[in-house]
Amino acid sequence: MIKKQKSQFRFPKSVLAPVTELLKKTLVKLEKRKRTVAREDPFLDTDRVNDNAATDVEADEQFGHAQVSAIKTEIDRMIVQTKKAMTRVKIGKYGMCEICGNMIDTDRLVVFPEAIRCTSCQKKKEK
């Protein structure tokens, strides 16, 4: 018995070249933003350890550190997502949902070129 292979759509190289460049630029911007945000962490100030700061100052530092940590975590998530999209371009699976294998809506890819899941699979994952 011959197995029927599912036909897979692939974007032409002429379409993928600008997408690849956009993803590379996005990655550079994200890494730069991560370094900038990291420098804003109030916990990096070595004088704060020796300082007997008032409670409100300590709370501000704690809040600032938590805020920087949250932003860095989100940037890290975006970096991973961008790298995954770049990998999918290289292996010829860009534009195909990594979960169901269906095409990701091109409108979604235009707005969010890092998308690796179709809208319905993304919604299921977020639940």
- All domains in the chain, ordered by first residue: 13-42+54-126 (1.20.120.910)
pLDDT tens digits along 12-28: 888 899 999 999 999 99
CA angle 55, 69, 38 (to 5 degrees): 100
**pLDDT score, position 86:** 94
Whole-number pLDDT of residue 13: 85
Q: What pLDDT was estimated at residue 77?
A: 95
pLDDT at 63: 85
**pLDDT for position 43:** 78
Per-residue model confidence (pLDDT) at position 41 = 86
Which residues, given as ranges, of the chain have pLDDT below 50?
1-7
